[in-house]
Homo-oligomer: A and B are copies of this chain.
Amino acid sequence: MRFPWQQKQIVPTETSHNLTEELTRQGYRMTPQRMMIVDAIEHTENHISAEDIFRQVVAKYPNVNVSTVYRTLELLEKLGLVTKTEMGVGHIVYHPLEKGHHHHLICRECGNVVDLDESVLAPLKESLQQNYQFTADLRHLGIMGLCAECKQKSQNKTANG
Residues of A at under 8 Å CB distance from B? 84, 86, 89, 92, 105, 107-108, 114, 116, 120-121, 123-124, 127-128, 131-138, 143-148, 151
Name 27 interchain pairs, CB-CB below 8 A, sorted by A. A86-B86, A105-B128, A105-B134, A105-B136, A107-B134, A114-B134, A116-B128, A120-B124, A120-B127, A120-B128, A121-B124, A123-B123, A124-B124, A128-B143, A128-B145, A133-B147, A134-B146, A134-B147, A134-B148, A135-B146, A135-B147, A135-B148, A135-B151, A136-B145, A137-B144, A137-B146, A138-B145
Please classify the interface of chain A as helix (H, G, I), strand (E, B), loop, or mixed, using the class held by over half of its residues. mixed
**Which single residue of chain B is at the shortest CB-CB distance from A133?**
B148
Contact of A123 among B92, B124, B145 (CB under 8 A): B124
**Which single residue of chain B is at the shortest CB-CB distance from A108?**
B137
**Which single residue of chain B is at the shortest CB-CB distance from A139?**
B144
